[in-house]
């Protein structure tokens, strides 16, 4: 009986945080610089979901896990910036024809440096 209660307690203690982390939608923006056809330009990814396991371990350990800059850098991306780490990155509609997305200072410097070469 005690063993059953202990197994149930461990299962609930590990399972409920996993469900909470999995169901919480933490989509955000990533901006980076990529070189295409010899020219550096900004690339925006608007629906990035942070990785599950770092958020899950943070949740188990009682650390902040929502809206934390724990995303890794994508392959081929230069000066990648996560919206949670760089609040100056934002998304706002400018008019009916396009969007305006703010960039980080590191991204601006990378584009200037790469295009000056």
Model pLDDT for residues 33-78, shown as the tens digit of each residue? 888 788 887 777 777 778 888 889 999 998 888 878 777 777 777 7
**pLDDT at res. 101:** 55
- Asked whether the predicted pLDDT for residue 108 surpasses 60, the reply is yes
Sorting pLDDT into bands at 50, 70 and 90, what band is 9?
very high
> How far apart, in Å, do the first and last CA atoms of the chain sit?
72
**pLDDT at res. 91:** 54
Q: Domain residues for 36? A: 2-116
SS (H, E, C) 58-89: HHHCCCCCCCCCCCCCCCCCEEEEECCCCCCC
| Triad 17, 54, 31: Cα angle to 5° | 125
**pLDDT at res. 97:** 43
Mean pLDDT of 5-13: 92
- How many domains does the structure of the chain reveal? 1
Model pLDDT for residues 73-92, shown as the tens digit of each residue? 777 777 788 877 877 776 54
CA trace torsion 63, 67, 69, 70 (10° rounding) = 60
Q: How many Å apart are CA 55 and CA 36, to the nearest integer?
A: 33
**pLDDT at res. 103:** 67
Sorting pLDDT into bands at 50, 70 and 90, what band is 98?
very low
């Amino acid at each position: 009986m005690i063993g059953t209660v202990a197994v149930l307690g461990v299962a609930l203690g590990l399972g409920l945080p996993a469900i909470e982390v999995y169901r919480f939608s933490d989509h955000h923006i990533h901006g980076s610089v990529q070189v295409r056809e010899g020219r550096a330009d900004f690339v925006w990814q608007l629906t990035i979901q942070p990785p599950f396991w770092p958020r899950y371990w943070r949740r188990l350990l009682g650390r902040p896990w929502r809206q934390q800059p724990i995303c890794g850098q994508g392959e081929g991306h230069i000066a990648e910036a996560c919206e949670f780490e760089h609040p100056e990155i934002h998304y706002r509609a400018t008019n009916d024809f396009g969007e305006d997305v703010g960039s980080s200072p590191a991204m601006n410097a990378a584009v200037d440096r790469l295009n000056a070469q």
